[in-house]
Amino acid sequence: MLKRLPGRPLFFHKGSAMVKSQPLLCLDGISKDFYGTVVLKDVSFTLEKGQILGLVGENGAGKTTLMRILFGMPVIAETGGYGGRVMIDGETVGFSNPFDALDAGIGMVHQEFSLIPGFTTTENIMLNREIKHPGIMVELFGERLSVLERATMRTRTEKAVQRLGVRIDPDMLVSEMPVGHKQFTEIAREIDRENVRLLVLDEPTAVLTETEADILLAALKKLAADGISIIFISHRLHEVLQICDKIVTLRDGTVVKDVPAAGHTVRDVASWMVGRDMGAARAVQRRTLEAKEAFRVDHLWVDMPGETVKDVSFSVRDGEIFGIGGLAGQGKLGIPNGIMGLFPSGGHALLHGKELPMGDPKSVLDAGMAFVSEDRRGVGLLLDESLDWNIAFTAMQVKGQFLKPVLGGLFRLRDEKAMRELAEDYIGKLEIKCTSCKQPAKELSGGNQQKLCLSKAFALTPKLLFVSEPTRGIDVGAKKLVLDTLRHYNRDFGTTIVMVSSELEELRSICDRIAIVDEGRIAGILEPDADLADFGLLMSGQGGSR
Amino acid sequence: MTDAGIKGRLVSAVRDFGWPRVIIFIFVVLLFLAAPFVGVSVSASLSDVLNRFGQNAVMVLALVPMMQAGAGLNFGLPVGIIAGLLGATLAVQFGLTGWVGFLAAIVLCLPFAIGFGWLYGRLLNKVKGEEMTIAMYVGFAGVTFMSIMWIILPYTSPNMVWGYAGTGLRTTITLDGYWTRILNDFLAVRIGQFFIFPTGVLLFFGLAALGMRLFMRSRTGTAITAVGSNPDFARAGGVSADRMRTISVVVSTVYGAIGILVYQQSFGFIQLYNAPLYMAMPAVAAILLGGASVNKASLVNVMVGTFLFQSILTMTPSVINSILQTDMSEVIRILVSNGMIIYALTRKSKVTK
Amino acid sequence: MKVPTQKPKAAQMQAQTKTRRILLRLALLVVYVALAVALFIFNRGHTVLVDNKGDPAGTFQAFELMKVSIDGGKGMEFFKGDRDKFTVVGQRHRIRIEFPDGSKPAFEGRFIVPLGGDLFLLSVPKMVAGLEPFIEPFVVARSPLPSEEDALPLVPDVPEPILGPDGKPILALPTATPADTAGK
Amino acid sequence: MKKPILLRTIFADNLVVVIFLVITAAAVPVSGLPLLSIAQEIVTRIGRNAFLVFSLILPIMAGMGINFGMVLGAMAGQIGLIFAVDWNIVGVPGLIFASMIGVPIAALLGWMAGEVLNRARGREMVTGFILAFLMDGVYQFVVLYLMGFIIPLHSITIKLSRGYGVRNTLNLDAVRQTLDRLIPLKIGGLTFPIANYLVMAVLCIFIVWFRKTKLGQDMRAVGQNQVVSHAAGIPVERTRILAIVISTIFACIGQIIFLQNMGNMATYNAHKQTGFFAAAAILVGGASIAKATIPNVFVGVVLLHLMYIVVPRAGTNLFGSAMIGEFFRDAFSYGVIALALVLHAWRKRANADSARSGLRGGAAGNRTEPPATIAAADAGAGK
């Protein structure tokens, strides 16, 4: 399943032949595409023993995919393997599943905790690697009836935690731990493996307090000193610069910079991350909008798992397209979801000066707002139902449309005919490709499903429209059409639009102003034609919030 | 279209419908085919099946709204049945007979059904995911609790209370002289020697089904379907899932109450105390047999399912027994009904997420 | 790929433990079966009808009075023509016969009941007279148990029968179709 | 934020127990039963029923809720007993023989049940419940039609007169109460079935030991989070199946102990209520569908049966009708199960909220001052 790129010299031949020791890890011309869409192009870099490598890049730059390849996630093989070679100690390896990677001494700490709440630190660190004491039952009924040696496990744990240079009670339940302890427990679990040589940490500091983060960084340096190599993925560039020996910057699936960390500033790295040749990204020409305020948000907090919003305030002008950007997991998605009442939220939101109740979707919709969710299949659509259902449903429930009275208005029934007409109207307008408006939504392509979601929103003729990740996972043609449609509704019907997207270029191409969200707060609001490095800075935890 | 292609499509269609259903369907057909050879009159059995169909179909119908709302199989149907029993006993108590009595029973049971249904619905909303288990025990608890009530409630009608004690209702109360088979015999048409077409009861089922259809096509009904199909979508659409689920439970309970009344008039007796305990089972089995999945059910499922299931109940005792010379019908019934439920529970729910 | 060196050794070790365990488990299985068989053989209960009847043909006579005890259990007195039953467990048994009237010395005997049978007739006079076979299977026409509960289990239609408060089955729907019940 | 919820949980845990205590305490004097005889009843019933209740612990530990499928084990036990009686194997050996026949069958059924439940993730309980019904049909088919027809029966005394199938009621003279009487002990007018208690003690030791084993650990892990367990390489499905298998085997032995005390067996009904009584007992004992301990079992058995003894009498004395009392105790037991399930669901939600409470309230979020524990760790990092 390893596609070897023909005629490529080995990496360290290409690099100066005076490589003293074999590099621990060497990625050589890694490339990967998912059904044609290229996500990694010829990625090559090396990692020496005991080095800390900072891997930075926007969402979709390919960090995740790269780590998946390194870790032998099955999804890679299922999608046709990858090109190039992964070498450990000069040996080409091809892991078919994460357990192989573990055996080869690669440990991964994922962003979300994989801990068992009701278990103690020890039990979690030793999970499925418990130290067993065989007995007659083992002989008769198999390994799993061996008794655990808790005492030994406990000492092992203490040793592992000690290595991190922190103190965690080995008998503390994870469910009662502060978030920092959980993170350390995860790391401890990885380094407890005898043979662990390479540790991959994906945004380890994202959930930590400042102090906790500092402790963690110290711990990582300690590990590196012990000779464990580390790949450190973080959007907090100052942290990256603080501990990394070298920084690899990915953009659009290629390595744009592979340099030693020393002597670079956050600003440099930020600009490498987001920087594109200005030709590609032509920002919209500024418009002069009357300053009338359409919508304002004060001290909004939203408890949306993975996209927590801590304290966000902004104001949107009438007829404006307001962009909200930022890296994944920073809370930008939480904003619309919270305001629309889909997740527990607090604070104030005012539409044309009228206070909107929190956590009550109905009245928010009644007030004239509409929302195109980023979770198309989960929230956006009734996948098993027909297109006209999908388009008309919300309008029916909110506005009581598409109902016809029967028995002299005794009660009202679905007006299938009106629904079909509506559906066909939008199918025409947005060029939705489908067999008929009776086709179940699940059979449409991603792009057309997205158009369907838009139609659903437009059918409400909203005063203010939230669109969340409108172009995620759809092809270029559909992208353009979706954006044009939004622009069209904004320009011609004066619909105020708040657009949330991880694609900076997209925001810059359509929005009048762009707010960047970082760690649950608005890091800053910029004009679309502002310097890219500034966007980068705001995204990298260097924003105004601190 | 190549032959292989057609075959493939056929197989996939069958798989979609579910092998067990197909097998059972074939089984039923065979039963009817075999009947004449073992001296069982097809026409008699057929009219028998039709009677039982009318007798049970409304109770099966009662399951539809909750399944559509994603609240699962209503094992708590006895809650509705209790309401029905209250209606019936009250009507008898007031000495109402004939159509008046039957309609009065329906009217009298409605407030109970709505009340119970509402409480029951509120409860189920608190336990999303475990609805079915809890529904079952709520049903059991309700039935046994009512058993106490049957003893201590101050009923006096001599046709219902124990002769010697003068208080406390009997376990079975005959409806003779009240509304025995009032629907079954209404406009019943005798064709040939054995075949009687129970127009009335089928008509009544038709009405009930129509009512359900209209409800499911109303704004609320639409919302209920959406909630069952994707709660998050419904919520984003400003629909309160809990409210819709509660409504669906209430409707289900009301239909359950009416269902038992239809059952009784056809059966000729009111059965109290523990009789309702497991009455949900055959209904559930029937609708699943009709091709419903745990969270999608249609009127077609109801009709097909009830017909098949009742055919099995009617035919196996006569046909199978005369073939095997032993009474296997009970075992077959248990295997078919519960097997069907297990099959549905273990099948991945059809809803795409 | 880092462990090719110790692989054979490890494999060997594994093979050893594997065989050891297979053997141990087989042993366990054997013990299990053996125990079952042993229980079966040594704990079957048999009923032995001991009688004190003479042979009509006169080859042996019944005793006036005898006291019989089996396997040292408590004895039973038999007058002429009596017959009574002992329950014994296992196959080999000792029987002791005493004559309270002192007409004869006490008699010690042994007998074996075949594994298969349940009910045997042991004729003491025959035994004492040393005639074979003094013990033979005793066949009854039909079960000694009363058979009033010989009906098919009550298996009603729709609801499963459930045990009420104290194990008495609760009323359940009759199987009958409405047509039939109309008659009731 | 955490504490009040904890307190409420504790209250909720014991709510069921408290209600039960109150009712029974009130009923005891009304029933007018002499305390000694009540005590005697309890003593016997612990010996008789507790083992069955124990069989529920492991599946709860493995996060599969209450294993209503344990009824399958009960059926296996009954089949074992049928053979023991058929061949008239006398006394305690007879019981052991019955178990040795029953256990393999139970294991087989348990495995099957496990497979089924794995296909019904998230609705294990109701599936197990229906599965019990389904297998009851199979049991009936085997015992009523195959036994004496394909499966040889030795003794005519247990056959139906038609020549095949087993009688409705089987009398267990050969083994009746042999275990109870094995080691008799009388203390102040109370007779204790010591042997039963010893068996139970062994079982408890096993459970305690089992919790310490790798398999036990895995079960707990799987019970709490299947995804994480799977990611850690624990064979989730297999573990769940094993939990059910063991539970079914226990149920098999438990049913045998139960029946030897009863002295005769309703061939086609004896197993039907087993699941219900066991579930009621363990829940009354304060267990939830996520956590069950050995004390839960004993408390539960005592309370439930105390109520089953006194309430009908109380009913008779109060309303002059035993039926009321009987219906009441049934309604109550059913209600308790429902209540316990509801409480559990409610509690789960409450905990989930409290877990995320830290992330709410926005500006006052958790970014400000670090927890003291970390400060300590800081010092650790220093040296």
Put simply, the answer to whether D269 touches C169 (Cβ < 8 Å) is: yes
How far is Cα A531 from Cα B110, in angstroms, rounded to an integer? 70
The pLDDT of residue D368: 35
Report CA torsion sign: C161, C164, C167, C169. negative
Q: Rounded mean pLDDT of D222-238?
A: 91
Q: Which subunits have 3 or more CB–CB pairs within 8 Å of chain C?
A: A, B, D
Burial class (CB in 10 A: 0-12, 13-18, 19+), A254: middle
Interface of A with C in 97-156 (CB under 8 A): 104, 139-140, 142
Out of A382, A400, A442, whose CB is closest to B226?
Answer: A382
Beta strands in chain D (DSSP E): 169-171, 184-187, 190-193, 264-266
* Tokens 């997207």 -> residue: A501
Looking at the predicted structure, is the pLDDT value of residue B6 above 90? no
How far is Cα A479 from Cα A470, in angstroms, rounded to an integer? 8
Looking at the predicted structure, is the pLDDT value of residue C148 above 50? no
Interface of C with B in 99-158 (CB under 8 A): 152, 155, 157-158
Put simply, the answer to whether B137 touches D321 (Cβ < 8 Å) is: no
Out of D330, D331, D341, whose CB is closest to B130?
Answer: D341
Instruction: Return the closest-CA partner of residue D98 out of D111, D109, D85, D113.
Output: D85
**Higher local confidence (pLDDT), B321 or C8:** B321
- Write the Ramachandran bin of D229: left for phi over 0, alpha for psi from -120 to 50, otherwise beta: alpha
Put simply, the answer to whether B267 touches C181 (Cβ < 8 Å) is: yes
The edge-to-edge listing of strands for the beta sheet with A521-526 is A354-355, A345-351, A293-302, A309-317, A521-526, A513-518, A321-325, A496-500, A464-468, A369-372
Put simply, the answer to whether C181 touches B269 (Cβ < 8 Å) is: yes
**Higher local confidence (pLDDT), C87 or D50:** D50
C41 in Cβ contact with C91 (< 8 Å)? yes
**What is chain A's mean pLDDT, rounded?**
84
Residues of B in contact with C159 (CB under 8 A): 275, 277-279, 281
Q: Rounded mean pLDDT of A97-116?
A: 84
Put simply, the answer to whether A145 touches D214 (Cβ < 8 Å) is: yes
Pick the range with the lowest mean pLDDT from B132-136, B272-276, B323-327. B323-327
**What is chain C's mean pLDDT, rounded?**
72
Band of pLDDT at residue A136, cut at 50, 70 and 90: confident
Put simply, the answer to whether A91 touches C1 (Cβ < 8 Å) is: yes
Looking at the predicted structure, is the pLDDT value of residue A466 above 70? yes
Looking at the predicted structure, is the pLDDT value of residue D102 above 90? yes
Backbone phi, then psi, for C11, in 5-degree steps?
-55, -45
**What is chain D's mean pLDDT, rounded?**
85
Out of B129, B145, B345, whose CB is closest to D130?
Answer: B345
Q: Rounded mean pLDDT of A212-233?
A: 89
Interface of A with C in 226-285 (CB under 8 A): none
Q: Rounded mean pLDDT of D64-69?
A: 92
A52 in Cβ contact with A224 (< 8 Å)? yes
How many other β-carbons are positioned within 10 Å of the β-carbon of residue D349? 12
The pLDDT of residue D241: 95
Angstroms from B132 CA to nearest CA on chain D: 6
Q: Which subunits have 3 or more CB–CB pairs within 8 Å of chain B?
A: A, C, D
D338 in Cβ contact with B141 (< 8 Å)? yes
Determine the residue among C157, C175, C177 to mutate to test chain B binding: the one whose Cβ has the most chain B Cβ atoms within 10 Å: C177
Judged by a CB distance cut-off of 8 A, whether residue A93 touches chain C is: yes
Looking at the predicted structure, is the pLDDT value of residue B41 above 90? no
pLDDT above 90 coverage of chain D, percent: 47
Instruction: Specify the pTM.
Output: 0.86
Out of D134, D289, D323, whose CB is closest to B335?
Answer: D134
The pLDDT of residue B60: 94
Judged by a CB distance cut-off of 8 A, whether residue A178 touches chain D is: yes
Angstroms from A347 CA to nearest CA on chain B: 20
A411 forms bridges with which residues in the sheet?
A: A406
How far is Cα B352 from Cα A385, in angstroms, rounded to an integer? 10
Angstroms from A474 CA to nearest CA on chain B: 19
Q: What is the DSSP letter of A442?
A: G
Out of D220, D360, D363, whose CB is closest to A303?
Answer: D360
Band of pLDDT at residue B114, cut at 50, 70 and 90: very high
Out of D224, D359, D378, whose CB is closest to A215?
Answer: D378
How far is Cα D23 from Cα D332, in angstroms, rounded to an integer? 10
Among chain A residues, the shortest Cα distance to D221 is held by: A116
Band of pLDDT at residue A482, cut at 50, 70 and 90: confident
Most confident of A253-257, A457-461, B256-260, D351-355: B256-260
The pLDDT of residue A380: 87
Judged by a CB distance cut-off of 8 A, whether residue D185 touches chain A is: no
Residues whose CB falls within 8 Å of the CB of residue B316, separated by 6 or more in sequence, listed in order: B31, B328, B329, B332, B333
pLDDT above 70 coverage of chain D, percent: 90
Instruction: Return the closest-CA partner of residue B28 out of B330, B319, B288.
Output: B319
Backbone phi, then psi, for A39, in 5-degree steps?
-115, -25
DSSP string of A129-182, one letter each residue: ---EE--HHHHHH-GGGSEE-HHHHHHHHHHHHHHTT----TT-BGGGS-HHHH
The pLDDT of residue A497: 92
Q: Summarize pLDDT for A339-351 with one digit per residue, the tens.
A: 998 888 888 898 8
Out of C44, C87, C165, whose CB is closest to D312?
Answer: C165
Q: Rounded mean pLDDT of D225-230?
A: 90
Query: How many degrees, rounded to 5, is the angle at CA A372 between CA A367 and CA A376?
Result: 145
Assign A56 to helix, strand or coil: strand
Residues of C in contact with A139 (CB under 8 A): 20-21, 24-25
**Higher local confidence (pLDDT), D124 or A2:** D124
Among chain B residues, the shortest Cα distance to D115 is held by: B346
Q: Rounded mean pLDDT of A9-22?
A: 46
Most confident of D181-195, D250-264, D333-347: D250-264
**What is chain B's mean pLDDT, rounded?**
87
Angstroms from A343 CA to nearest CA on chain D: 11
A427 in Cβ contact with A434 (< 8 Å)? yes
Residue ranges in D120-143 assigned as alpha helix (H): 124-141
Residues of A in contact with C28 (CB under 8 A): 140
Among chain C residues, the shortest Cα distance to B180 is held by: C182
Looking at the predicted structure, is the pLDDT value of residue B281 above 80? yes
How far is Cα D44 from Cα D25, in angstroms, rounded to an integer? 20
Judged by a CB distance cut-off of 8 A, whether residue A260 touches chain D is: no
**Higher local confidence (pLDDT), D258 or A413:** D258
Band of pLDDT at residue A506, cut at 50, 70 and 90: confident
Interface of D with A in 336-355 (CB under 8 A): 355
Put simply, the answer to whether C162 touches D273 (Cβ < 8 Å) is: yes
User: Where are chain D's structural domains?
Assistant: 7-380
The pLDDT of residue C164: 38
A317-329 burial string, b = 16+ CB within 10 Å, else e? bbbbbbbbbbbbb
**Higher local confidence (pLDDT), A542 or D371:** A542
Angstroms from C142 CA to nearest CA on chain D: 8
Out of C40, C155, C166, whose CB is closest to D89?
Answer: C40
The pLDDT of residue D7: 63
Query: Is beta strand A229-233 parallel, antiparallel or unpaired with respect to A198-202?
Result: parallel
Q: Specify the CATH architecture of the domain D7-380.
A: Orthogonal Bundle (1.10)
The pLDDT of residue A284: 61
Q: Summarize pLDDT for C117-138 with one digit per residue, the tens.
A: 888 888 888 888 887 788 888 8
Query: How many degrees, rounded to 5, is the angle at CA A532 between CA A527 and CA A534?
Result: 75
The pLDDT of residue A2: 41
Band of pLDDT at residue D10, cut at 50, 70 and 90: low
pLDDT above 70 coverage of chain C, percent: 71
Q: Summarize pLDDT for C35-71 with one digit per residue, the tens.
A: 999 999 888 888 888 888 887 777 788 888 888 888 8
Q: Rounded mean pLDDT of A392-396?
A: 89
How far is Cα A35 from Cα A445, in angstroms, rounded to an integer? 14
Band of pLDDT at residue B127, cut at 50, 70 and 90: confident
Put simply, the answer to whether A104 touches C2 (Cβ < 8 Å) is: yes
Q: Summarize pLDDT for B178-222 with one digit per residue, the tens.
A: 888 888 888 888 887 888 888 889 999 999 999 999 999 888 999
Band of pLDDT at residue D142, cut at 50, 70 and 90: very high
Judged by a CB distance cut-off of 8 A, whether residue D321 touches chain C is: no
* Tokens 């009970």 -> residue: B330
Looking at the predicted structure, is the pLDDT value of residue D352 above 60? yes
Put simply, the answer to whether C45 touches D88 (Cβ < 8 Å) is: yes
